[in-house]
Amino acid sequence: MAAKRVLVLDYGGGNLRSVARAVEHVGFQPEVTADPRALDSADAAIMPGVGAAADTMRHLRESGLVEPLRKYIQAGRPFLGVCMGMQALLSVSEEGGEHACLDIVPGRVRRLERESADGDLKVPHMGWNSVKQIRPHPVFADIPDESYFYFVHSYYPELEDESLVVGRTEYGVPFASVIARNGLVATQFHPEKSGQVGLQLYRNFLTACCG
């Protein structure tokens, strides 16, 4: 059987190597690429991300990835977005002004507030936080509810369609930390920085789409 083609999309964002190592660790061979044509024959695509929304969208446009990504995801093909790779899916980001994003998942990316009912919060939200599983999904297989994952972000997704939310986290406000629809899964946290539960999430996603 031919090896499955697992793309790690290189659009100028950070953390590519950590994601590629995580993919290798769970038994798959990652292909780091910026070539939009590679999506045509991909079995799965992972879009990691560390950076700002405006830069992310500019790099995606310059790489010619915007329309191929939209078509790939809208066709229900396996896609995992991580951190900025999740936020870029929404309609608009308020980071550094207002920036149009991929508009695959209707909603806005909003800034975390420093003040909450529990007192002042540090922004960016950096460190471990729990994920409440809102509904069952294969990506949570063998991952206990309320498991802790590693977050690094100052902005959070606010979705128009709450039915897409499969995991939720609280940091001043409750926000979607895992979303899923058809072949799409996206996380606000970094599974590759989240120890064994993060590796299990990668394993679950890739096993579901690649066997």
Question: Pick the catalytic residue: 31, 95, 190, 209?
Answer: 190
For the chain, give every domain's residue range. 6-210
Tell me which DSSP letter residue 112 carries. Answer: P
Nearest 10 degrees: Cα torsion 115, 166, 14, 113: -10
The stretches in the chain having pLDDT less than 50 are none
Q: Tell me whether residue 190 is one of the annotated catalytic residues.
A: yes
Please report the pLDDT score of residue 119 as a whole number.
65
Q: What is the pLDDT of residues 78-136, one digit of tens each?
A: 999 999 999 999 999 999 889 999 999 999 999 998 866 566 789 999 999 999 999 99
Three-state DSSP class for 100?
Answer: strand
- CATH 3.40.50.880 assigned to 6-210: yes
Catalytic residue among 31, 83, 101, 153: 83
For residue 58 the two structure tokens come to 């500019």
pLDDT at 51: 80
- Annotation says 192 is catalytic: yes
Please state, in angstroms and rounded to a whole number, the distance separating the CA atoms of residues 30 and 46: 9
| Predicted TM-score (pTM) of this structure | 0.95
Q: Give the per-residue pLDDT at 120.
A: 77
Q: What is the pLDDT of residue 2?
A: 66
**Which of the residues 31, 95, 153, 192 is marked catalytic?**
192
pLDDT value at residue 50: 78
